[in-house]
Amino acid sequence: MQLFRFLLSLTLFGLFASLHAQNPGADHGNKFEQLGTLITPPNSYHAWDGAPGPDYWQQRADYEIDCTLNTEEQRLDGSEWITYYNHSPQPLRYLWLQLDENQHSPKNDNQYFDPSSIKPVMSEYELKALETWRGRDKYGVNIEAVADENGQALEYTINQTMMRVELPETLGPGEHFRFRVDWHYYIVDRVYLNHLLEATGNAATLPRGGYEYFPEDDNYLYTITQWYPRLCAYTDFGGWQNNQFTGRGEFALTFGDYTVRITLPEDHMVGSTGACLNYVDVLTPKQLERWEAAQTADAPVEIVTLKEAKAQEKAKPAKKTQTWIYHANQVRDFAWTASRKFIWDAMPHSNSDGKRVMCMSYYPKEAYPIYSRYSTKAVAHTLKTYSKYSLPYPYPTAISVEASNGMEYPMICFNPGRAEPDGTYTEIAKKSAISVIIHEVGHNYYPMIINSDERQWAWFDEGLNTFVQFLAEREFDADYQSWAGPPHQITAYMSMPKGELEPIMTNSENIKDYFSNAYLKPATALNILRETIMGRELFDYAFREYGRRWAFKHPTPADFFRTMEDASGVDLDWFWRGWFYSTDYVDISLDSIKWYKVDLENDPESREITQPVRASKPFRDLSQIRNEEAGIVPADEEDPELQDFYSNYRPWETADSVTQQKIVIYDEPFSKKEKQQQFSDKNYYELHFSNKGGLVMPVIIQWTYEDGSTEIDRIPAQIWRKNESAFTKVFVREKQVKAIEIDPYRETADAGLSNNSWPLRQVPSRFQVFKKHKIESGINPMQRANGKYTDD
Ligand SMILES: [Zn+2]
């Protein structure tokens, strides 16, 4: 007890002494504090360790949909039965459905969400985008009927892209309700809306589904997405999801089982979420035979060949219709595609759990050169690698459709990948097709299986998916030029002026640079976490555990953050704070190096010394010196708009005041012989670092010795925990150092490379040593208590 009290008083004193001695400025921020209230508190639904809690629940909605595609009028008519299961502990008086096609209706006000202005020269599409909604009254969902099982009409209210349906009776916990919705809508021209999007950058017209018209052969390619009124997500963390669909923030959805019957002209080929239940009715005997052969093939088998597709697209349109029937279990959405132009190939993938998954591609002849070679193989490769980093692929099919744009749905996704008209293609076109295929197929995991709320958090599926995409690409080709992953690729974005940035933890609708913020930065952060901070073994275990815990459930970012720490035993709060909750960037500067040798000759005359005092010449930091040597004119001198580039730039601070405080009285000198034996070959390098970007990160130091050999030191980020802006650290080396480089592998996203290296040429300073010493002041008593210093 007494000892404890004594230690406690030492500790308190030590804490203050240490703060005073080492942190004279206001450099001690909160970068290493726990997330505290920044993160959603745990509860019995989302537990303290990041797993689903003991009372976890989620809703369920099953669908049985009949729809008819009218290829003359570009209209889709549907009738659906929905069974909604209330698994929540809360009674419900109404249900909310999403009417996403109302994105394209003038009744929606998303066209007012983005500013616009007149420019001196404007394109046709820029002008059209100023009145996007003119003449577009027919678009959006037309609700024809909402009724219960007895045919009794149900009251409903449409609020832009959502519809509230009144329940005849309160739906209690554990109860379910079956009702019908009849509807139709006119399909939008995806290509036209894409032109508007490209002209303005506003997501209001962003077409995730619709038709593409091919004037050369008078055919259509349909991608039918967000097409049926479907339940909004109702969760323990948000109640009914009530952020309208503006075109930007993606989807929050409920799992369920689907049976979908698609009726359309018999000359159309269909690809869809789910397993087709009646190929025997809709395929020709020859196609059926090829489909059977594909089940055991070791390369893609063309079920509809290029030749057949070319003949079909020229044939007279069929009048007769047929119905394709699909069934899917445990999916959060359902999408399909149809065209007379499709080539269709398939091959099996042997899943890590032993099950067979049919990997398939549908594409028009325009994409044949790239798609026939790469698409289905890229699909299989995606399943193989994603399974490794999460869980075995749980669905029977995985489909890549070439539709000149990218968007993901369960088991099916739409990607670009056309060749030049002469059938040639560039390496870039090929790689970008493969990248998008891996990305969109990868979305089967994030967010289709690991069902996050995309409307709230774009990064939560895009970032995780882009990260695993990077792993998959590196495993596709060792030199793959990925969108994201290599840390040096993100530095330009992260070091932009703060006014252009927002933290990753920002709602999907409010992000300026969507791609950089929600895809590239989080993917890079996870790569750094894996390679530099945690190591592959700890990271991969925790990342897989996250997938295992939340497959077919609704995770929140807090569940991810907690699981990564809980399963790895690594406290990462500082990392989430810096990378996910701040707009800091990484720029660690090696400001100065001092080289010391022990003074072997002179014994002390005086018992009282101070640490060497730094030369008082005006200091210029290394990047300035290096730039000046190279004759580089800083960009901000040429472009005044860049002058606030380093908005949080901290001028270099001397540490002189700190070192001069330490007055040490030494007792017993070493003999000359002892000094010779112990210190003659020791070099002491005192490195001074400052944090110019604000983001605290590990400091990776590469030493190059006079004999040409190299060595790496890895200083954990915690070096910054008491002073987030600067630290000095001494390294003892027997070999003489020729050069020092910080972050030699460019693994920390350090944006300022000019202050990362230092060739060492100066003559060393010398300092004196003593055997035992008594501390008068300046040394923290806690250090004595810890035995670092002896006190006689
Ligand atoms: Zn994506």
Q: Phi/psi at 418 (nearest 5 deg)?
A: -80, 150
State the DSSP string of 130-196. TTTTTT-TT-S-EEEEEEETTS-B--EEEETTEEEEEEEEEE-TT-EEEEEEEEEEEPPBHHHHHHH
* pTM value > 0.75: yes
pLDDT per residue over 304-339, tens digit each? 999 999 999 999 999 999 999 999 999 999 999 999
> Rounded to the nearest whole angstrom, what is the distance from the C-alpha of residue 439 to the centroid of ligand 1?
6
d(CA 101, CA 122): 29
Q: What spacing in Å lies between the alpha carbon of 70 and ligand 1's midpoint?
A: 30
Give 694-724 pLDDT, tens digit per residue: 999 999 999 999 999 999 999 999 999 999 9
Ligand 1 centroid – CA 465 distance (Å): 7
Residue 443 C-alpha to ligand 1 middle, in angstroms? 6
**What average pLDDT score do residues 599-610 get?**
55
* Look-up of token digits 């606030």: 644
Residue 464 CA, ligand 1 centroid: distance in Å: 10
Confidence of residue 668 (pLDDT cuts 50, 70, 90): low
Q: Separation of 250 CA from ligand 1 center, angstroms? A: 10
Contact in structure between 649 and 752 (CB atoms under 8 Å): no
- pLDDT (0 to 100) of residue 626: 42
Provide the edge-to-edge strand list for the sheet that holds 588-598: 726-733, 683-691, 588-598, 765-767
Give the Å distance between the CA of 390 and the centre of ligand 1: 17
**Ligand 1 mean position, distance from CA 131 (Å):** 29
pLDDT: is 447 or 602 the higher one? 447
pLDDT at 650: 26
pLDDT for the residue 603: 58
Q: Residue 651 Cα, ligand 1 centroid: separation in angstroms?
A: 40
Report the sign of the C-alpha dihedral through residues 715, 717, 723, 726, in that order. positive
Q: Which helix (H) or strand (E) holds 373?
A: helix 368-389
Model pLDDT, residue 182: 98
Q: What's 365's DSSP letter?
A: G
Dist. CA 415 → ligand 1 center (Å)? 11
Report the C-alpha gap between 156 and 333 in whole angstroms.
Answer: 23
Mean pLDDT of 162-185: 98
How far away, in angstroms, is 60 Cα from ligand 1 center?
25
Alpha helix segments (H runs only) across 422-551: 427-442, 458-476, 491-494, 514, 521-528, 536-550
What distance in angstroms lies between residue 446's CA and the mean position of ligand 1's atoms?
Answer: 9
Phi, psi of 528 (to 5 degrees): -65, -40
Confidence band of 761 (pLDDT split at 50, 70, 90): low
CA dist 181 and 299 (Å) reads 43
Q: Which of 153-157, 296-300, 370-374, 674-678 has the lowest mean pLDDT?
A: 674-678
Q: What values do phi and psi take at 92, rounded to 5? A: -115, 135
Distance 132 CA to ligand 1 centre (A): 26
Quote the ligand 1 centre to 134 CA distance (angstroms): 31
- Predicted confidence at residue 428, as pLDDT, reads 83
Q: How many CA atoms lie within 13 A of 122 on its CB side?
A: 14
Q: Cα separation of 293 and 575, whole Å?
A: 51
How many angstroms is it from 462 CA to the middle of ligand 1?
Answer: 5
pLDDT (mean) for 548-553? 98
Least confident of 229-238, 378-387, 512-521, 778-787: 778-787
Expressed in angstroms and rounded, the spacing between residue 437 Cα and the centre of ligand 1 is 10
- What is residue 411's three-state secondary structure? coil
Query: 106, 74 in Cβ contact below 8 A?
Result: no
Average pLDDT on 396-414 reads 96
* Span 381-391, average pLDDT: 94
What share of the chain in percent tops pLDDT 90? 67
Work out whether strand 737-742 and strand 699-705 pair parallel, antiparallel, or are unpaired. Answer: antiparallel
pLDDT band at 24 (very low <50, low <70, confident <90, very high): very low
CA 243–ligand 1 middle distance (angstroms): 20
Tell how far the Cα of 208 is from the centroid of ligand 1, in angstroms: 12
Of 62-66, 290-294, 301-305, 757-761, which range is least confident? 757-761
